[in-house]
Structures are given as structure tokens and as C-alpha cells.
Amino acid sequence: MGSSVVRGIRGAINVVANDKAEILEATRELLVKISQENNIQKEDIASVFFTLTPDLNAVFPAAAARELGWDEVPLLCASEVDVPGALPLCIRVMMHVNTTLHQSQVRHIYLREARNLRADLADNT
């Protein structure tokens, strides 16, 4: 494996409505899956950056990370670029983690309809 380095891990999930409970549930699902697939402990997480499509504003997805106990992890939320024709109702994440995984071993996670965002990686989810 080698020494620990910071790697970026991407992921996305979509919801069916701009609903606080649904956004939090989907975000938790995504974060847990990313953590499981990459053997990440919360102490390994350097930071997490979330974006939401402009049609989602019921809650900050960072609240879901706090619900998972990630109280000391720096978190940031922003609005995704409003590109015409892009997948609506989508939560994206870029997690920066300290890991011994090589870049080719990192598992990026795309769930639900968000799998279409990166079909080349969707088989890994």
C-alpha cells in the first residue's frame, strides 16, 4: 500500500423532491456507502464539499454528516452550476480523505439516477 496521502473521492445521489428528510436520508446513504467502499473512518476525513442542484434548498446536506457524528470534519455546501439538461434534484460530494489507497483503488460512488453522471464508474457501486 504505502504511506497515507490525501485522495479525493467523488459521489452523487438524486432525490425525488426538495424535502428536508429525503435530502438528509440520501446524503447519509451516500456518505455511508462511500465510507464503506473505501474503508474510511471519520478520523481519515480531511474535508467534505457538497453541492446541490439549484432545485434543492430544503436543508444543507452537511447536516447529514453531522448526524453521522462527523462533528470535527470541515464541511462546505454550495449550489451546483445550473446547466440546462443536467440531472435535477442531485446531491454531489467531494470527500478528501487520508488513505493508503492508490488512486486506481479509490471507489467513487454514484447511486440511483446519478449513476448516469459517471456511467464509467457506476459498475463500482
Q: pLDDT per residue over 93-103, tens digit each?
A: 999 999 999 99
Q: Is residue 107 part of a domain?
A: yes
pLDDT digits (tens, 9 = 90+) for 24-65: 999 999 999 999 999 999 999 999 999 999 999 999 999 999
Q: Is residue 124 part of a domain?
A: no
Mean pLDDT of the region 73-99:
96
Give yes or no: 107 in active site.
no
Give yes or no: 28 in active site.
no
Q: How many CB atoms lie within 10 A of CB 120?
A: 9
pTM for this predicted structure: 0.92
Q: Is residue 18 part of a domain?
A: yes
Give yes or no: 90 in active site.
no
Range of the domain at 52: 5-119
pLDDT at position 124 over 70: no
Q: Is residue 56 part of a domain?
A: yes
Q: Is residue 86 part of a domain?
A: yes
CATH value at residue 109: 3.30.1330.40
Give yes or no: 112 in active site.
no
Q: What is the pLDDT of residue 26?
A: 98
Among 7, 90, 110, 112, which one carries the catalytic annotation? Answer: 110
Among 90, 92, 113, 115, which one carries the catalytic annotation? Answer: 92
Is residue 73 within 8 Å of 47, Cβ to Cβ?
yes
The C-alpha atoms of residue 44 and residue 30 are separated, in whole angstroms, by 17
Mean pLDDT of the chain: 93
Among 22, 28, 77, 107, which one carries the catalytic annotation? Answer: 77
Q: From 72, 71, 77, select the one nearest 27 (Cα to Cα).
A: 77
